[in-house]
Chains A and B, each alone.
Chain A
Amino acid sequence: MLDQEIIRKASDHFGSVIQLSPILFWLIFLAVFAVTAFQAAIIVYHWYVYAPNKKMGANMLLLYTVVSGVLLILSVIGGFSIIAFT
């Protein structure tokens, strides 16, 4: 019973963090986006310049772009849904 009470309080605390600090969440989002964009730029550059063969390079770039693009769109939707919730 005591455990449930502690967890309920912890749950309320987490909930209030989301509600009170949407800016913090956006900052986390932006930081991760920035790092991911930098990583993406390096990956694309390497596959474009140093790919063992042109076909493999093109396929890998297509795979990376499509999957990353879908995940990026979902992430943005997720970010906006935080605004909607708060």
Chain B
Amino acid sequence: MVPLESDETSLKEVRAHPIFLALDALTLLTCIVGPILIVIILSILPVTRGLSGTLLSFWPIYPLWLLVCWGNFFVSLTFYFMRYLVITNERIIEVEQKGFFNREVSSFRLENIQDITVDVHGIVASVLDYGDIQIQTASKDRSFTIKNAPHPESLKLLISQEHERVMKRFMAPQTSIL
């Protein structure tokens, strides 16, 4: 869990579009159904009928195969849920799980935002409404990129609104002095 400051509230948690999770689930489904389909096809074809019987004798290994597939699917699931971005009323926090032993948590304050770019690339991305958001910050040309975020335009709007709110708060004392 990402620790927040005392006066900080989480506004939104952003992950990659669920279609990427669905693709992983589809791979798992293929791994489950694939061996069964192979045996069925081999048993239908007259030439390979004998071989299908032998393949059926391998059924005790099938649960083990499923265990391996399930493990790999859950690794993908873990990475999907552990790569996310938290938009708070003060900061943007990026949690990046690059590998099981490679985790990076970085954050920047909303007032440091200089530019937000949305890149929706391709037919699938346009239809499903997901894309990359690049946030340019003032600190040493550092930029943050959120890959395949769902509804990037509304996300950009939310970040812009929060940025404006924070900037107004910063500007208010200065104008009163002037």
Q: Which residues of B contact A (CB under 8 A)?
A: 1-2, 13, 47-48, 50-51, 53-54, 57-64, 66-68, 70-71, 74-75, 77-78, 81-82, 84, 95, 97, 100, 103
20 additional A-B pairs beyond A43-B75, A52-B81, A67-B70, beta carbons within 8 Å, are: A7-B47, A15-B54, A25-B61, A32-B67, A32-B68, A36-B67, A40-B71, A43-B71, A46-B100, A52-B1, A52-B95, A60-B78, A68-B67, A68-B70, A75-B63, A75-B64, A77-B63, A78-B59, A78-B62, A78-B64
Shortest A77–chain B CB gap in Å is: 8
Question: Chain B nearest CB: distance from A55 CB in Å?
Answer: 11
Bound together, the chains give a CA A53 to CA B13 distance in angstroms of 11
Q: Does any Cβ of B come within 8 Å of A21's Cβ?
A: no
Q: How many residues of A contact B (CB 8 A)?
A: 41
Q: List 29 A-B contacts (CB under 8 A).
A: A3-B47, A4-B47, A11-B50, A11-B54, A14-B57, A15-B57, A18-B57, A28-B61, A32-B67, A36-B67, A36-B68, A36-B71, A39-B71, A40-B71, A43-B71, A43-B75, A46-B78, A46-B97, A47-B78, A52-B1, A52-B82, A52-B95, A60-B78, A68-B67, A68-B70, A71-B70, A78-B59, A78-B61, A82-B60
List which A9-43 residues lie within 8 A (CB) of chain B: 10-11, 14-15, 18, 25, 28-29, 32, 35-36, 39-40, 42-43
Contact of A43 among B2, B53, B78 (CB under 8 A): B78
Q: How far is the CA of A54 from the CA of B63 in the complex (A)?
A: 31
Which residue of the partner chain B has the closest CB to A83? B60
CB distance from A36 to the nearest CB of B (A): 5
| A46-B100, A50-B103, A52-B82 as given contacts; A11 in contact with B63, CB under 8 Å | no
The B interface, classified by DSSP as helix, strand, loop or mixed, is helix
A42-B100, A52-B13 are known contacts. Are A29 and B1 too (CB-CB below 8 A)?
no
A residues neighboring B (CB under 8 Å): 3-4, 7-8, 10-11, 14-15, 18, 25, 28-29, 32, 35-36, 39-40, 42-43, 46-47, 50-54, 56, 60, 64, 67-68, 71-72, 74-75, 77-79, 81-82, 85
